[in-house]
Amino acid sequence: MSAGHRKVHPYVWFILNLPFGATSGFVSVMLGFILKKEGMGDDVIASLVALNLLPHTWKVFWAPIADSTLTRKRWYILANVLSCLTILGLAFVPITKGNLGVIEILVFLNSLAITFVGMSVEGLMAHATPPEERGRAAGMFQAGNVGGAGFGGGLGLFLAENVSTQVAFIVIAIVLFTCQLALRLVPEAPPVKVAAEAHAEQAPRGLAHVGRVFVGRVIEVFKELWQMVWSRRGIVALTLCFMPIGSAAAQGIFSGQMATDWGASAELVATTSGLAAGVAATFGCLLGGWMSDRMGRRLAYMAGGALLAVIAIGMAISPANPTTYAIFTLAYQFGGGVAYGTFTGFVLDVIGKGAAATKYNALASLSNIPILYMTKVDGWISTDHGPVTMLWGDASSEIIGIMVFILVLLIVRPGKEKLPEASPEPQPAPLPEAKVIE
């Protein structure tokens, strides 16, 4: 293996993707708990969590920018530095209702920057990971996402409660800033090449050349997206992205009124939303990947949604005390991990090759829409009708989503579609036939 293609250990993807998950964790867990102590309701907390998710819903529109300009390492550094600066900004803004507007701006900017961090890691990982290690790499990548959320939320809340809110933000910013040191262990990914660049390569170098290359890349990417969208499998994938199956949105409410009603202390919330949650979600991701291979992609994803519904119902009918809070919040995190794992398997089964990263981001962006609206709905139900009713509503959304999805499968019948064959590899010219000397 050459120096430009040196082997990368899968744990590197965990480190590089840690900021992606950690920033969402400190918003939903740490900020949520602090805002509740300041007297704000679950609707305010849910709105902040939803605002953090908003850029992830639309990131497909700027994914070609990350693919077509600078390098993936440079994008990672720029985006991670901006993210850390917004976290430092939160350290010097008092968390009060009067400063809610400033907090919302910083959270939004942080989330926008983090989308570029995720796209950079995806590009680097796709280039540096050999086929036989893609499963391990994907597992570590998702562990950085879901495990990082537990790290950012749990560590942030622990420091905020035991030291100070300011120290919590500063420590998180420093830790996430150091994650970019792992870039030294990864080879740079080459720029994306498309057919339109074959002619542009002969053009004089300059702004016009850069523009032609960029436009060519964008056109090719959206051609592939169009072909995917109008396939049977693409229609099924798009439908699934809008369904609330596997949204696991209730976890954004656990640190609010539910923690109070169940008598959970700050330490218990930090534990069940922090390291323990990360471990539970990580094991859920691994199980989801196993289910996806054994049961089929669509069935496995529906099974993950059904598991979340069962857990939510179990929590709703169980006694409200700290023990059941710990058991069911961790179980819900585990179920969310299963949904993450099965979703990733489902998407990889649909996008195929070509502009895989952009197509993945297209579906991943759309998949945030049900998380966005279910977080808002769960927050509204919890504030107006209580956490128990919210759990019943969350479970009902999973069941209804599964029923609608089964109906779509019966109508579209994606199994009838002939899968595109892979392009044949170029074969070397045949050697001249050897002459036999008599």
Residue 436's pLDDT is what?
34
The residue range of the domain holding 103 is 7-187+231-413
Does residue 176 lie in a domain region? Answer: yes
Query: From residue 349, how far is each of 189, 288, 340, 359 by CA, in Å?
Result: 23, 14, 14, 12
Q: What is the number of structural domains in the chain?
A: 1
CA-atom Rg of the chain in angstroms: 23
Does residue 210 lie in a domain region? Answer: no
Contact 305, 158 (CB under 8 A): no
Does residue 118 lie in a domain region? Answer: yes
pLDDT below 70 — which residues of the chain?
1-6, 129-136, 138-139, 190-215, 217-218, 220-222, 224-225, 227, 229, 274, 345, 348-357, 414-438
DSSP 247-289: --GGGGTTTTHHHHHTT--HHHHHHHHTHHHHHHHHHHHHHHH
Does residue 110 lie in a domain region? Answer: yes
Taking residue 372's Cβ as centre, other Cβ atoms within 10 Å add up to 19
Please indicate, yes or no, whether the overall pTM of this predicted structure exceeds 0.75: no
**Helix, strand and coil percent figures for the chain, each rounded to 5:** 80, 0, 20
Does residue 220 lie in a domain region? Answer: no
CATH label of the domain that carries residue 265? 1.20.1250.20
Contact 397, 247 (CB under 8 A): yes
Residue 183's pLDDT is what?
94
Does residue 196 lie in a domain region? Answer: no
Residue 436: exposed, middle, or buried by beta-carbon count in 10 A (0-12, 13-18, 19+)? exposed
Does residue 221 lie in a domain region? Answer: no
Instruction: Spell out the long-range contacts of 382-387 with Cβ–Cβ below 8 A and sequence spacing 24 or more.
Output: 382/42, 382/46, 382/253, 382/256, 382/257, 382/258, 383/41, 383/42, 383/43, 383/257, 386/257, 386/261, 387/253, 387/257, 387/258, 387/261
Residue 131's pLDDT is what?
58
Does residue 202 lie in a domain region? Answer: no
